[in-house]
Amino acid sequence: AQTVTQSQPEMSVQEAETVTLSCTYDTSENNYYLFWYKQPPSRQMILVIRQEAYKQQNATENRFSVNFQKAAKSFSLKISDSQLGDTAMYFCAFDPEAGGGSEKLVFGKGTKLTVNP
């Protein structure tokens, strides 16, 4: 079965510092998409960043970047210069059937990140 594991249920970081959230996944597919979603206390799920498995270059989006290690099936999220507004649940997800048309997402259990002033 395809699974996503987020081993850190909760994390905290001081404002302006850097934090890394870990995610590992299990799949036998070679081509897939990986995502990090953010869910603030207001509960709207927001896409943070995405990565295509066939791309070796790590995706970046302003203060957010990923460390994608395909062989290790690891997809960590680094948040630089953390801001109070980054406080949220962060979910790692992947689409195991890239190009298959189903677009089903498998989610991890989430990491609750708190940014302290």
Partner 1 sequence: SAVISQKPSRDICQRGTSLTIQCQVDSQVTMMFWYRQQPGQSLTLIATANQGSEATYESGFVIDKFPISRPNLTFSTLTVSNMSPEDSSIYLCSVGGATETQYFGPGTRLLVL
Segment lying near partner 1 (by CB under 8 A), choices 12-20, 36-44, 63-71, 79-87? 36-44
What is the token pair recorded at 114?
A: 């708190």
Alpha-carbon span 84 to 14, nearest angstrom: 9
Q: 25 or 35, CB closer to partner 1?
A: 35
Alpha-carbon span 38 to 61, nearest angstrom: 13
13 binds partner 1 (CB under 8 A): no
Q: 12 or 102, CB closer to partner 1?
A: 102
Decide: helix, strand or coil at residue 86: helix
Residue of the chain from 21, 66, 110, 113 that contacts partner 1 (CB under 8 A): 110
Site for partner 1 in 54-93 (CB under 8 A): 91
Segment lying near partner 1 (by CB under 8 A), choices 11-19, 66-74, 80-88, 108-116? 108-116
Alpha-carbon span 27 to 38, nearest angstrom: 23
Alpha-carbon span 61 to 51, nearest angstrom: 11
Residue of the chain from 30, 44, 56, 57 that contacts partner 1 (CB under 8 A): 44
33 binds partner 1 (CB under 8 A): yes
Alpha-carbon span 26 to 35, nearest angstrom: 14
